[in-house]
Structure 1
Amino acid sequence: MEPGNQTQFPGFILLGLSEEAQMQPLLFGLFLSMYLITFSGNLLIILVIITDTHLHTPMYFFLSNLSFADICFTTTTLPKMLLNIQMQNKIITYEDCITQMFFFMVFGELDNFLLTVMAFDRFVAICLPLHYTVIMNPKLCGLTLLASWILSVLNSLLHSLMVLRLSFCTELEISHFFCEFNQVIQLACSDTFLNNLVMYFTTGLVGVIPLTGILFSYTKIVSSILKISSVGGKHKVFSTCGSHLSVISLFYGTGLGVYLSFAATQNSRTTAMVSVMYTVVTPMLNPFIYSLRNKDIKQGVRKLFNWQTFST
């Protein structure tokens, strides 16, 4: 029986991080706070970059888009989770589940591509400084952003359409706080071989290739830094990419941790708790990493609040 033709298919049941009633108010308060911090922090980064003309450079252009992607990334999961806790209703409809999976993958993969492009930007700035303005011109920046969006949407659309061909029977419980792709696939009572095959293949394309590009860029960057004789010069050059390197380590480290924990334990609830790191904590910490370790952003924040104070 195909999901699209089912009249008795209510949707899925999101079990969340805990089924204990006394834990629900604590989880609601904790994740509401984290969502508000993520939203306001990343929105502040975007506003600072837009209002400060000194930050109208390729690096900050991609950073503003990364902040936008982080806002959307958390918005695909946390509001539904908070609503379920508040309404004491764990059901998510089939259509909403597919939609949530689609947008979650879109913005997760967009993060991945933007981090790769930002690594290339730092490579050009440090290793080819005399050619930076020629290579990282506005046209190339626009094209790379467009390509990142297109690849993210196409890949997510492929996976979502392939889920539509699956049938779901009686087991509808998802041990997660959102419709995580792997767990939804496991609930199917039809053959999922093709879905798994496509998933592994595309993971290699949109996961391994960008990560290889990042590693290549930073290998060249480190090589260039080591050639600098003065300690002050090394510190100055490294400071230009320190924040980005921290975000990359956090993004890939937490993401890899989720899949390693899943492979090691096969415990869906444990995986759900670990996945909070890359779905919630990482987007929340990104603005702090860039604002605390980046002088330009800190100056932009001061200018923004001074302008607001003056205008009021």
Structure 2
Amino acid sequence: MPNDDTRLTALIDELSRLDTEAVTTERGDLDLLSTAELAQRMNAEDARVAPAVAAQSAQIAAAVDGITDRFRRGGRLIYIGAGTAGRIGVLDASECPPTFGTDPSLVVGIIAGGETAIRSAVENAEDDAEAAGASLSELGLTDADTVVGISASGRTPYVIGGLEYARRVGAFTVALASNPGSAIGAAADIAIEVVTGPEFISGSTRLKSGTAQKLVVNMLTTLSMIKLGKTYRGVMVDLLATNEKLHARSVRTVSQLAGVGTDEAARALAAADGSVKLALLMLATGAEAGVAASALDAAGGLLREAIAALS
């Protein structure tokens, strides 16, 4: 059994090989720069993120197809991560219901250390290799689900353990890392390794790595929802009007897409019980709410197909 000194030496050696932990001499003068120079320098680093994500387009597309397939089988998308990576998963999951009208159980974020870790650091939570599997088990993970493990370093024990558990269950697994050849990538069906290079402040993976993670999870859910018919002509049509702003957006969406005035759009929304998609279908075809709803169900929620069926 290796002692503490041996484990520490091994960990230091492991971290030294990670791009995200690299220290570069070109940023050794940051404390000497003006604020304007700092802003320009940091922005230049951030500009490297989008091309790095683009380089992983094929892997992202494959992940989206897998996620969409599992959604259609009644499965869920579950993010697991620690620290910033975990918070990004929780954030993306929490934004899906108001944006796409999904049930909160469809996209779930699990963070090492539990809800406390969303706002505060929980010591050693990321080192617990069994905790994510236990949380996934509590959720009743099945082979119809997708688990996306997020870790900038690609070596977080919490995420590795969760992905290994998910694969044993038969769930579809995706790894999102910021270093190539990652351990989480090896533990997943698909590895999305967005290599963003050394951080502006070395090792601070809430920076470029976090930005890359946010871009990728945006793609995973947004593109999956597009394929499920949650948008129409590039506009959200399954949003939930949970406040005045979203109600106004619903009326404006129906008005614009149906080519009618706001009063007529508001009446259609009222007849459709607030459903933008149903209101659009009724206006496009002249169908009553019940007939339109049945057609929409038969089309699997795809508005274009429902319009065609009733036209």
TM-score in terms of structure 2 length: 0.31
- When Rg is computed on C-alpha atoms for both structures, the one with the higher figure is 2
Larger relative helix fraction: 1
Larger relative strand fraction: 2
TM-score in terms of structure 1 length: 0.31
